[in-house]
Amino acid sequence: MINKLARPCAPTLAQPRDEEFDHATRLVAGFVVEIVSPGSEAMDSVTKVREYASAGIPQYWVVDRDGAQTVTLHRLSGDGTYEARARMPLAWLLQTAPADHLD
């Protein structure tokens, strides 16, 4: 398990202060939402994905900055990598409950 993760883009309900972040990242989140920003595509789609998978985070959602703000829902598979399970526009996803998409 890694000791420190990159900060996800989407804030959590209990966002740790900077001095608490190292400790807080040792806890396993149920899911992470990453908003792909211009200039950080490689970090968001390669580096962070590996870190989150290594930490055992079961769900990883990626919001692309395309016209529909497409969200791809990934699930951690048995081999420790993420597989895409669904893609949908953010507007549609926001009309549903997050629990509808979590295992």
Cβ-proximal residues to 89 (8 Å cutoff; 6+ apart), any chain = 68, 69, 70, 71
What pLDDT is attached to residue 27? 57
In this prediction, residue 78 has a pLDDT band, given cuts at 50, 70 and 90, of very high
Arithmetic mean of pLDDT, 67-95: 91
pTM tops 0.75, yes or no: no
22-57, pLDDT tens digit by residue? 544 455 678 888 898 888 888 888 888 889 899 899
DSSP assignment of 19-36 equals HHHHHHTTSPPSEEEEE-
Partner residues linked to 74 by β-bridges: 60, 84
Domain spans of the chain, in order of start:
18-101
Question: Does the pLDDT value for residue 70 go beyond 80?
Answer: yes
Report the distance separating Cα 80 and Cα 75, nearest Å. 10
Question: Does the pLDDT value for residue 89 go beyond 90?
Answer: yes
